[in-house]
Amino acid sequence: MKPKVLMLGWEFPPEISGGLGIAFHAICKALAPLAEVTIIVPKLDKTVKIPGAEIIGIGEIDLDKFFEEEEIIKLEGMIKDNRIEIDVSPYPVYPLKTDVSVTTTTTTTTTATATKTVSRTPGDIHSLHKNFRDAELYGNEVVNMVRYFAEITELIASKLSFDIIHAHDWMTFEAGIRLKKKFGKPLILHVHSLNFDRVGPEQEGVVYQIEKDAFQAADMILPVSHYTGSIIREHYEVEPERISPVHNGIDPVKTFKTEKKFPEKLILFMGRITLQKGPEYFLETASKVIDKYPAVRFAIAGTGDQLNRLIEEGAYIEISQKLHFTGFLERKKVYSLLSMADIFCMPSISEPFGLTALEAVQFGIPVIITKKSGAAEVLPSAFLADFWDTDLMASQILSLLTDQNLYDSKVKEGKKDIQKISWNKTAENILKEYRKVIP
């Protein structure tokens, strides 16, 4: 019999701010033929469907029609308690816009990262619910939205039948714990990114504690790489027998080449412009390459809290005339940029996986990636470097620019690597983990 899976996610197309939304959608799609999948997400575009799966968007639910009066009262009770406003910055690129009304209840909350005072009218259940439909999913209200997601998911789950709970990243972990406690079903936690990756080991804070509590409650933890699994084991004190890495896959796409409007070679960085992704090391590498090979340009695709500083830094080291900042790109434009790039560079300080590196290889682009990444585990053809070793990354780029035989061999080897990677394989590995914990 197919297992009945209750899948909890935070991003779902077209609500995508990074690899999480892409991976979550792909996993659900690949699992749907193998299991009975019910998906709960905060926001849903009803034009996006997965054959064989039921998808519930919390923001699209009419509270008064979907729930009984006593259930609405239960949800009301949740937000009558003092609320907190903490910028935990899970993805600082996308600030949450809210229409919070100010009066009555006030609380001051202190964490490792912020102290703020917030007011809200108690009982404003419909306003908070409206955020799931109209607002961004990240920002200083994210912890409250995570709590509300957990509360309302528990009520929804009482109307469903499922054998296992599969929650993706910290935003859904509290919901997963609640469901395990109430319904006694096994809990799988899928880890695409950790608080450790974003802020390092010194700033534990709210998100770290949510992750750690969830890891203690989980029946099985599925990090997207052995690298991420080692962080969970060492920094969250989880025994290795409950950690089973499952690599991401990649969807086959029809690749193409686009002729550039300039003669120089194009080196590409693609990702959120945050400290975690190492964009400053990309700039430093670019400066060293330009000194020895001027016929080159560098593109930085993405946006984030470090973007303005990065632009200023490019001007300061006098390479701005060789830099292109594209901002956030939708998928079609991502593919268009990949079709023009000659080399891809991913100098992340900590990269749980790195789907963009796989996409680059798919487009026939040699890649230079950090050793601390999941992508390094599935792309043996890639050049590897420590994120701080800009001399080595510059040398690797220069070797690809000046040695056509090396360049061609890396492209050929990369194509062989990518043929071994698929979301179907990912789904099959997940199914094996389900069978280990389902009674």
For residue 95, give the 3-state DSSP assignment.
coil
Q: Whose CA is closest to 10, among 186, 106, 138, 194? A: 138
Residues 6 or more apart whose CB falls under 8 angstroms from that of 161 comprise 4
Per-residue pLDDT at 131: 66
88 and 176 in a common domain: yes
Per-residue pLDDT at 321: 87
176 and 135 in a common domain: yes
72 and 213 in a common domain: yes
344 and 232 in a common domain: no
127 and 162 in a common domain: yes
For residue 432, give the 3-state DSSP assignment.
helix
Neighbours of 103 (CB within 10 A): 9
Whether 50 maps to a domain, the answer reads yes
Whether 367 maps to a domain, the answer reads yes
Q: Give the integer Cα–Cα distance in Å for 188 and 25.
A: 17
276 and 206 in a common domain: no
319 and 213 in a common domain: no
Whether 258 maps to a domain, the answer reads no
Length of the chain as a residue count: 439
CA atoms within 13 A on the CB side of 388: 0
Domain of 326, CATH number, reads 3.40.50.2000
Q: For residues 367 and 415, is the Cβ–Cβ distance under 8 A?
A: no
Q: Whole domain around residue 70: which residue ranges?
A: 4-249+427-437
For residue 381, give the 3-state DSSP assignment.
coil
Per-residue pLDDT at 63: 76
Helix (H) or strand (E) holding 202: none
Per-residue pLDDT at 84: 47
Query: How confident is the chain (439 residues) per 10-residue block, as mean pLDDT?
Result: 95 80 94 97 88 90 76 68 48 33 27 34 58 69 84 90 97 96 97 86 80 96 97 94 96 92 94 90 95 95 86 80 88 93 96 95 97 95 96 98 97 96 97 94
Q: Strands 115-120 and 105-110, how do they pair?
A: antiparallel
For residue 99, give the 3-state DSSP assignment.
coil
Rg (CA), the chain: 22
Whether 90 maps to a domain, the answer reads yes
Whether 157 maps to a domain, the answer reads yes
DSSP string, 222-233: EESSHHHHHHHH
Per-residue pLDDT at 118: 34
431 and 410 in a common domain: no
Q: Strands 323-327 and 296-301, how do they pair?
A: parallel
> Where would I find the H helices in 236-295?
279-292
Q: What is the CA 209 to chain-centroid distance, rounded? A: 19
CA atoms within 13 A on the CB side of 298: 28
Whether 255 maps to a domain, the answer reads no
Q: What angle do helix axes 423-437 and 19-31 make, rounded to 10 degrees? A: 70
175 and 208 in a common domain: yes
Token reading at 322: 């060789």
Q: Give the integer Cα–Cα distance in Å for 276 and 197.
A: 6
224 and 293 in a common domain: no
Whether 281 maps to a domain, the answer reads yes
Neighbours of 106 (CB within 10 A): 12
Query: Number of folded domains in the chain?
Result: 2
**3-state helix vs strand vs coil in the chain, percent to 5:** 45, 20, 40
Q: Give the integer Cα–Cα distance in Å for 340 and 328.
A: 17
Residues 6 or more apart whose CB falls under 8 angstroms from that of 133 comprise 43, 59, 60
Walk across the sheet containing 323-327 and list its strands.
Answer: 323-327, 296-301, 265-270, 343-346, 367-370, 383-385
Per-residue pLDDT at 168: 97
Whether 256 maps to a domain, the answer reads no
243 and 187 in a common domain: yes
276 and 384 in a common domain: yes
